[in-house]
């Protein structure tokens, strides 16, 4: 499982000109499920997203997590993160999970993060989405489990 997380002041995702997910301060996370992923990767990723320390403390050090600041989380499925770009001029998606497994594990990630008590919003799986955000910092990390 691969995630690109961005610390944001606000973020939203639209499908067909309608906002389907929107958050204020927190993390906007693009998520790709790889073909060998399982619930083990879901659990590890959920813990990292909630507890990864990317928010500044009183000394301006990245010591606080989403959980610490009671931030919000916007999860957006994006299979293209799992692309193999090592050869040629066209990406290969052979490492991406099949849609049924990807949806199952993405939904499990949403459920696990929601169980933390934080506000969790999502995009729409397999839809053409437009993502808007104000990256705070900018702070962006790639996480892999």
Q: Where are the beta strands (DSSP E) in the chain?
A: 2-15, 18-23, 26-32, 53-56, 62-65, 72-77, 120-122, 130-144
Using only C-alpha atoms, the chain has a radius of gyration, in whole angstroms, of 15
Which entry of 6, 41, 55, 79 is annotated as an active-site residue? 79
Could you give the CA distance from residue 86 to residue 95 in angstroms, rounded to a whole number?
A: 12
**pLDDT tens string 71-123:** 999 999 999 999 999 999 999 999 999 999 999 999 999 999 999 999 999 99
What pLDDT is recorded for position 132?
98
Given the residues 24, 40, 51, 80, the one annotated as active site = 80
pLDDT for res 4: 98
**Helix (H) or strand (E) segment spanning residue 116:** none
Task: Give dist(CA 92, CA 32) in Å, integer.
Answer: 14
Q: What is the DSSP letter of 115?
A: T
Residue of 55, 78, 106, 122 marked active site: 78
Let me know if 124 is a catalytic residue: no
Q: pLDDT value at position 143?
A: 97
**CATH topology for 2-136?**
3.50.80
79 as an active site residue: the answer is yes
Residue-range domain boundaries for the chain = 2-136
Give the residue-averaged pLDDT of 116-132: 97
Question: What confidence tier does 139 reach under pLDDT thresholds 50, 70, 90?
Answer: very high
pLDDT digits (tens, 9 = 90+) for 44-72: 999 999 999 999 999 999 999 999 999 99
Please tell me the predicted confidence (pLDDT) of residue 11: 98
């Amino acid at each position: 499982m691969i995630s690109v997380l961005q610390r944001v002041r606000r973020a939203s995702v639209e499908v067909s000109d309608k906002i389907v997910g929107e958050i204020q301060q927190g993390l906007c996370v693009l998520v790709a499920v790889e073909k060998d992923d399982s619930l083990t990767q879901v659990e590890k990723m959920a813990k990292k997203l909630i507890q990864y320390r990317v928010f500044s403390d009183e000394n301006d050090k990245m010591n606080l997590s989403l959980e610490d600041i009671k931030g919000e989380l916007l999860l957006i499925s994006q299979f293209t993160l799992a692309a193999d770009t090592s050869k040629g001029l066209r990406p290969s998606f052979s490492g991406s999970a099949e849609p049924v497994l990807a949806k199952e594990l993405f939904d499990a990630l949403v459920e696990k993060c929601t169980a933390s008590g934080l506000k969790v919003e999502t995009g729409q799986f397999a839809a053409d989405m437009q993502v808007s955000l104000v990256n705070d910092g900018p702070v962006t990390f790639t996480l892999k489990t």
